Amino acid sequence: MDVYRSLLEGNKQWVQEKLGEDPNFFNDLAKGQSPQVLWIGCSDSRVPANEITRTKPGEIFVHRNIANMVVHTDMNMLSVLDYAVNVLKVRHVIVCGHYGCGGVLAAMGSQQFGIIDNWLRNIKDVYRIYSKELDAIEDDKARFDRLVELNVMEQVFDLTKTSIIQNAWRERNLPIVHGWVYSLNTGIIKDLGVSFDKSSQLNTIYQIEAKKVELA
């Protein structure tokens, strides 16, 4: 069967399965969503947020792009973050990268790919920040793995630099921002332990004061 048709066929079977387990499955989901988690992950087809965390539709609000980046000029990411934090009021924001990430690997080299080079440059910036540590790692794969981890950590920091996160912390002490890395080889998620919440001390230069009352 053609891939295109098999997707539609798969959908039919999935609907039957879900209805078999719970006749109200779709009726309940159609009423609305109140996910507690925002997931910022890589577009890589092998890292599906719901499947690897065994969560159901309705449980995770998802944003994915190449190499799970938090780029401050990315209106798409900012809109997802704003909606998740201020409307859905998620309790956790998770940046989940993965070892073997093609975006990170491409950023480590000097080959020109096209438009995407501009996106990958953000990862090169991460390399530059940690170049001392990374250049000291002799094994290529170990250096690659470490950049994947450091890239996730930097995206977590980038989230905490946004007014969206800082205002939410001021108003309701949430969300907590986490950094994870998924292994394609084992399926296991590693928590990098870089969780940030209201109590986190951000570098002074990134601290944003509460907004003053605006005059008309």
Q: Which residues bind Co ion (CB under 5 A)?
A: 42, 44, 101
Which residues are bridge partners to 16 per DSSP?
Answer: none
In three-state secondary structure terms, 93 is strand
| 96 flagged as catalytic | no
Residue type, 191: D
Angle at Cα 145 formed by Cα 205 and Cα 135, nearest 5°?
70
Minimum CB distance to Co ion, residue 120 (Å): 11
Active site residue 42: yes
Q: How far is the CB of 121 from Co ion (least distance, A)?
A: 16
Q: Closest Cα to residue 68, out of 88, 47, 83?
A: 47
Q: Which is nearer to Co ion, 7 or 184 (CB)?
A: 184
**Minimal distance in Å, beta carbon 112 to Co ion?**
19
Q: Say which amino acid occupies 75.
A: M
Q: Which is nearer to Co ion, 44 or 145 (CB)?
A: 44
Q: Which is nearer to Co ion, 53 or 163 (CB)?
A: 53
DSSP code for 192: -
Residue 107: CB atoms within 10 Å: 24
**Shortest distance, position 83 Cβ to Co ion, whole Å:** 24
Cβ-based nearer residue to Co ion, 129 or 184: 184
How is the beta sheet containing 92-98 ordered, strand by strand? Answer: 60-65, 37-42, 92-98, 176-182, 189-191
Phi and psi angles of residue 92, each rounded to the nearest 5 degrees, phi first: -135, 140
SS3 40: strand
- Catalytic positions, written as ranges: 42, 44, 46, 98, 101
